[in-house]
Amino acid sequence: MARTVWDSTVGKKTVMAVSGLVMLLYLVAHMIGNLKIFFGTEEFNHYAHWLRTVGEPFMHYEWTLWLIRVVLVVAVVAHAVSAYQLSRRDIKARPSKYVHKKARSNYATRTMRWGGIILGLFIVWHVLDLTTGTVHSGGFESGKPYQNVVDTFSTWYGNVIYIVAMLALGLHIRHGFWSAAQTLGAGSRTRDRALKTTANVLALLLTIGFVAVPVGVMTGVVS
């Protein structure tokens, strides 16, 4: 049954919608945590330490954090694979271009595809920068996330990569949230306006919330 559902277009769209909403919930929590950097070094570093001790003593040190990471990896892979396969299926269904193009839908589709690629590459860079420290500038300090964040956004390329990715994220959420609602049956003529407004507000708040951190470092508010 699981294979039958996955092989269907509706099944892939459902997987894409559910995995997208899982990541959206994480992004909201992640943004709120990021904004703690404006309350100073001790507050931000304490928050980062707390993430590793959530659930103790029932959960061992970092077990909850690793559980969250595993869920996110599964969500990202499921989202990316279903998106790719749906895209390939769509191309095979219409090998020749339409005579009359629907500009709005084509624009949204291109934005989602390129936005997804940009975000995928960003996730890899972000992990290598602030989690493993592999590509981090200024000397990565384990257990000192405040200092590591300031180091990253003290470089022009760190700011460019992050801000471009967050703009792509905003566009992705703006279209993706409404699309997921339609897939999961939440959309209707009476609710479409509210769903689109919610999508726009979420996209705007998350984009501003995430971009506020590099802007704070660039302006000296965070130093």
| pLDDT one-digit tens code per residue, 61-112 | 999 999 999 999 999 999 999 988 988 887 777 665 555 555 555 566 667 8
Percent pLDDT > 70 in the chain is 92
Long-range contacts of 96-101 (CB under 8 A, 24+ apart): none
Nearest of 71, 90, 67 to residue 13 by alpha carbon: 90
pLDDT for the residue 104: 52
- Determine how many CB atoms are found less than 10 A away from the CB of residue 23: 21
Q: What is the pTM of this model?
A: 0.88
Average pLDDT, integer, range 108-131: 87
Which pLDDT score, from 0 to 100, does residue 212 have? 97
Q: What pLDDT, in 10s, does the model give residues 21-55?
A: 999 999 999 999 999 999 999 999 999 999 999 99
Residues of the chain above pLDDT 90, percent = 65
Length of the chain: 223
Render pLDDT for 127-150 as a digit per residue (tens, 0 to 9): 999 999 999 987 889 889 999 999
pLDDT, position 89:
82
Q: Which residue, 166, 85, 68, 157, is CA-closest to 123?
A: 166
pLDDT of residue 106: 56
Supply the mean pLDDT for the chain.
Answer: 89
Three-state DSSP class for residue 191 = coil
The answer to whether residue 15 scores a pLDDT higher than 90 is yes
Please give the pLDDT value at position 191: 80
How many CA atoms lie less than 13 Å away from 110 in the CB half-sphere?
6
Residue 183 has a pLDDT of 87
Question: Please, what is the end-to-end C-alpha distance for the chain in angstroms?
Answer: 54
Taking a C-beta distance cutoff of 8 angstroms, is the pair 89, 125 a contact?
no
Residue 205 pLDDT class (50, 70, 90 cuts) = very high
